[in-house]
Structure 1
Amino acid sequence: MASKYDGLARIIIQNIGGKSNVISVTHCVTRLRFKLQDESKANTDILKATDGVAAVIQSGGQYQIVIGNQVAAVYDAVCQVGHFSGEKALAEQPADKKLSPGAALIDLISGTFLPVLGVLSGVGIIRGLLAVASFFGLLSATDGTYVILNAVGTSFFYFLPIILGMTAAEKMGGNKFIGISIGCSMCYPAIVDLSGMEALGTAFEGTIFATPYYTTFLKIPVLLPSGGYTSTVVPIIVAVFFAVKMEKLLQKIIPDVVKMFFVPLFTLIIIVPVTFLVIGPITGILCALITQLFNTVFGVSGLLAGAILGGMFQVFVIFGLHWGLTPLALTSMAAVGYDNIIPTAMPAAFVQTATVLAVYLKSKDEKLKKVALPAVISGLFGITETAIYGVTLPKKKPFVISCLASAVSGAIMGALGVKRYSMGGLGIFALATYLNPETQSFYDVGWSIVAILVGMVVSFAITFITYKDEPVAEKAAVEE
């Protein structure tokens, strides 16, 4: 079926080097994310000048084309016109095309979390709204309505290892059902319930790593985190990484006639015990250390930590590095029940929106105003790429102002120790996730609103006072 974005799709495909240059394509909230055989074949300048393209970013081993709110429709048109199969690999990646460790990590994280981000946000909003409904007495925890909606909002997080087992396996080129099976074993009720039983003994007794164990495998103690591996993130991704390596090795040495069931058999029978005996405990210790590190940093100076994260967040967005915060936030939630990392960056979207609003009201450039108004609307819902690439970054000074004002908001959030208790939506929808479901305290919600308003007022006022349209002559010269 023809789409109004077919023309744009053809221009994009032509100027990324053609279909044969594409390894894979997917999209996030505002961007088309290509992995290309050779990025030098792409006509970046032509793409940047194309109507419907806000910007082009080359980061993390990906060729990212920023579209904006219409990205899903443009993605569908690109797949239709190019006969692409989406996230699946479209061509073999050249053997000599290797990413740097940092780029590979960001690519892995974004590829694992992007497919589930929308649902992750949606169920997080449900949890937040249930907390609000409970606080105001609209629902009680025993109401059937609450129980069913809570199942929707909670189960996705509870079984997150199963879901990430699938997406991580697909991202790494493995069998997604093997990834799912590893995740299922980690969430199996009999395993989860072990940590509530009487301990059989203590491993590493007398050291800082002393850990009680509740069962053994071949007489080897199995060390489980408190509450098991439900809602965890890092162990399953690392386990799938080794599972995919094992699977590919077995594919080479097992005869074709028995590959179908022997490859999964040997992969699972090796990797699942290794996960419980080695991968899980090691990643658990590393995650605990990382969580403790962030808590220590925020304990020493939450104001400084918040200012840095808040001020830099929009820069992270430009290069797609903000995805690196997602597993850290989920790890913190699984370990201590809350996240204090992303809250410092949450006001940045509102601050960016206030900056664009000031430009919209002050500017007499009708073309700029047509871009700015939709950017203000989408910014309130946490989507700031249109604001950044369409308004503030090209003008430079407004972007700097928004970053500095976001640092102020982040400093407030960090200094007051504001926390969120669930992954949730972006923008105004995120506020519901800051209501403490245990105490039903509005402390974190209230101070979040204060920090947002302070940053918005500072950014709006400075931008409104200092902003000036470019001289007409200068604009004409640029257009020539």
Structure 2
Amino acid sequence: MGNKELVQKIIAAVGGAINIQSVWHCATRLRFKLKDKTLVDKKTLEVMSEVVAVVDSGGQLQIVIGNDVNEVYKSLREQYQTSEDEVSNEEVVDAPNHEKMINRIITFISGTFSPFLGALAGTGVLKGILALSLVAGWLTPESGVYKIWYAAGDALFYFLPILLALTAAKQLKVNQYTAMALAGALVYPSLATQLMNPDPLMFFGVPVVGANYASSVLPILLAVWLLSYLEPQFNRILPASIRNILTPMLLLMIMVPLTLLSIGPLGNWIGQVLSAGIMNINQSVPFLAGAIIGACWQLFVIFGVHWTFIPIIANNIGELGHDPLTPIICASVMAQAGAALGVFLRVRDTKLKSIAGSSVLTSLLGITEPTIYGVTLKLKKPFYIAIGAGGLGGAIIALGKVQATAFTLPSLLSLPAYLEGGVIYLVLGLSLAFGISTVGTYFFGVTATVHDQPTQLYDEDIKAPVVGQIVPLMSIDDEVFASGAMGQGIGIIPKQNIITAPVTGEIVTVHPHAIGIRSKQGAEILIHVGINTVQLNGKHFKKLVEPGKKVNLGDPVLEFDRQAIQKAGYDPIVLLIVTNTPNYQCQITQDLETTKNWLIRLRPNPKAAK
């Protein structure tokens, strides 16, 4: 099954998202801290083919995944949030308060826009097609076809405050229908007309500032935020028998005029300042602004901060009628598609080629996450090349002052919405972003270990990564490693503090306490220092290599303080595991006195080859 389906089944088996207090991962396993362990369905977890073992140890439920744990964890982070909106990892368990606040803001924005983002983008594409139809002379503004389709394309954006009220209220746990009534009042036809009248509307002698709230973003978000503070107070004061009626009534009586008198104008002013600032930067230094956004957009996606741009883009469309950011972002999207195509054309590995091929299509349609996490970021160089190509394409598009006239997801489908500005610059910028990324990735972005990985395994001897006393794997105080579930191997009680490469090959994964290496002959080797040392959060460890680094036999890869680890209450034993053991006939040394000779002798398994 895919990672998304696997994560869904794991979450269900551990008692649901509501039962998860925090979750992180180490080199081989997902580690859950649960509220109630009795809700765990251990048998269901153990029968999953992707789950190697399930361990309850140290107050944690440990689900052993193996080498793919990082990809599974990424999928889990995309899908899962605890009730406190926390997802921990092995390096950052408790985030500072300011980081939690940033996470909450991003979570609020993403939860507010994501439910209808597809529909909003689809109607934006429809408006772009209609604009193209007018330019090409296929339709006229007076035709019934144009008017009906324009209403279909514009209605959702026109009534955007109502949709935002619905989803924002859900995020802030406010009565959604009260919030929608508040937003409806802002765009109520007769009131909206009166607000635009030169003669100000008076409320108990106070003039109401004239404003147009159709298609606006910030006023309703601020209003619902304030609503989330007022509603609990009314519910606390009013008797339960009349609360359901009087609370909405009183809130609307207070919040509608308050929004029209102060919150709405403040939100509009903030939106105008943001839009004016972006437009000034784009006009003053367009090449630089486009280069930065085009290059960094996928980094924003990785860290989740891209959601903070959605209100700004929507505000630009509502306030100014156009937006300069979306076409620039489109260059970044096309660059990722080009990088995926370069990988697809270059690699021989069937699985990676399949993932890269499908990622090209999804990226062209505006969804880059599968490309980033499944292909480019995983291989690193294609990601860097795409950053450069996206920056160049974005700079050219910004130089041409290309504008989006409707809210869309940046993709090939959105091109009709990018007609305002220099179309030649748009075509040139997108073409260069896609082309340079494709060619650059094909020639320079894929290492030999990916496209020339040996299809045949060879005889190989695995040397000791550290000097020490050899102990059988079955004697290790960890049932997953001792059972051989992770693969055949051996333990070493270390007598020194330096881990060296036991083979010549490439570093695949790096954790503070563990190193993954793929040898030139095809063996996949895990060196794991200590039992449960992931809980040290990197303390007493020093990484000497990074993923992708080529190493020779005997090169230092990790430094640790075995005495300090033992003093902290952890066993510092070094585990040497061949994780693709089924591909070999594996012989473990019987010489327990020395680590100078080979420890594990591998011979290709004829049955595995078949």
TM bin (shorter chain): 0.7 to 0.9
Of 234, 237, 260, the residue aligned with 1:276 is 260
State yes or no: 1:331 paired with 2:378.
no
Alignment-mate amino acid for residue 220 of structure 1: V
* Aligned residues of 1:310 and 1:348 also touching (Cα < 8 A): yes
Partner of 1:49: 68
More strand by share: 2
Q: List aligned pairs for 1:332-411, cutoff 5 A.
A: 332-411=316-395
* Aligned residues of 1:363 and 1:469 also touching (Cα < 8 A): no
Q: Partner of 1:221: helix, strand, or coil?
A: strand
Farther-moved stretch of structure 1 (125-134 vs 396-405): 125-134
Q: Partner of 2:78: helix, strand, or coil?
A: strand
**Aligned-residue offset at 1:299:** 2.0
* Aligned residues of 2:195 and 2:201 also touching (Cα < 8 A): no
Partner of 1:106: 106
Inter-partner Cα distance in structure 2 for 1:110 and 1:8: 20
What is the TM-score normalised by the length of structure 2?
0.63
What is the TM-score normalised by the length of structure 1?
0.79
* Aligned residues of 2:326 and 2:410 also touching (Cα < 8 A): no
Distance change in 2, residues 1:92/1:398 (3 Å)? closer
Partner of 2:116: 116
Of 64, 68, 73, the residue aligned with 2:78 is 64
**Aligned-residue offset at 1:91:** 6.5
* Aligned residues of 1:54 and 1:390 also touching (Cα < 8 A): no
* Aligned residues of 1:158 and 1:231 also touching (Cα < 8 A): yes
CA RMSD of aligned residues (A): 3.0
State yes or no: 1:234 paired with 2:218.
yes
**Aligned-residue offset at 1:392:** 0.9
Alignment-mate amino acid for residue 463 of structure 1: T
Distance change in 2, residues 1:43/1:394 (3 Å)? farther
Of 432, 453, 458, the residue aligned with 1:454 is 432
* Aligned residues of 2:85 and 2:104 also touching (Cα < 8 A): no
Inter-partner Cα distance in structure 2 for 1:44 and 1:281: 52
**Aligned-residue offset at 1:459:** 1.5
Greater RCO, CA 8 A, separation 6+: 1
Partner of 1:142: 142
State yes or no: 1:244 paired with 2:291.
no
State yes or no: 1:21 paired with 2:19.
yes
* Aligned residues of 1:48 and 1:56 also touching (Cα < 8 A): no
State yes or no: 1:469 paired with 2:440.
no
**Aligned-residue offset at 1:351:** 0.8
Farther-moved stretch of structure 1 (255-264 vs 97-106): 97-106
Farther-moved stretch of structure 1 (470-479 vs 398-407): 470-479
State yes or no: 1:422 paired with 2:400.
no
**Aligned-residue offset at 1:100:** 2.4
Q: Deviations over 1:317-376 (max 9, x none)?
A: 112211111100111111111111232211111111111111111112222112111111
**Aligned-residue offset at 1:296:** 1.7
Inter-partner Cα distance in structure 2 for 1:286 and 1:172: 21
Inter-partner Cα distance in structure 2 for 1:56 and 1:365: 22
Number of positions where the alignment pairs a residue of Structure 1 with one of Structure 2:
414
Inter-partner Cα distance in structure 1 for 2:66 and 2:110: 23
* Aligned residues of 1:55 and 1:65 also touching (Cα < 8 A): no
Inter-partner Cα distance in structure 2 for 1:41 and 1:294: 47
Alignment-mate amino acid for residue 524 of structure 2: A
Distance change in 2, residues 1:359/1:240 (3 Å)? same
Inter-partner Cα distance in structure 2 for 1:449 and 1:462: 19
Q: Partner of 2:406: helix, strand, or coil?
A: coil
Identity of aligned residues (%): 30
* Aligned residues of 1:421 and 1:433 also touching (Cα < 8 A): yes
State yes or no: 1:293 paired with 2:250.
no
* Aligned residues of 2:4 and 2:75 also touching (Cα < 8 A): no
Distance change in 2, residues 1:401/1:41 (3 Å)? farther
Q: Partner of 1:216: helix, strand, or coil?
A: strand
Where does the alignment leave 5 or more consecutive residues of structure 2 unmatched? 22-33, 37-58, 87-93, 455-518, 526-578, 581-610
Inter-partner Cα distance in structure 2 for 1:186 and 1:364: 58
Inter-partner Cα distance in structure 1 for 2:284 and 2:84: 48
Structure 1 ranges of 4+ moved more than 4 A: 3-8, 40-45, 89-94, 96-99
Inter-partner Cα distance in structure 1 for 2:105 and 2:390: 27
Distance change in 2, residues 1:42/1:319 (3 Å)? farther
* Structure with greater Cα Rg: 2
Distance change in 2, residues 1:47/1:274 (3 Å)? farther
Distance change in 2, residues 1:103/1:261 (3 Å)? same
Alignment-mate amino acid for residue 370 of structure 1: S
Q: Partner of 2:124: helix, strand, or coil?
A: helix
**Aligned-residue offset at 1:314:** 0.6
Q: Deviations over 1:140-186 (max 9, x none)?
A: 22222211111110111111111111111111101110111011110
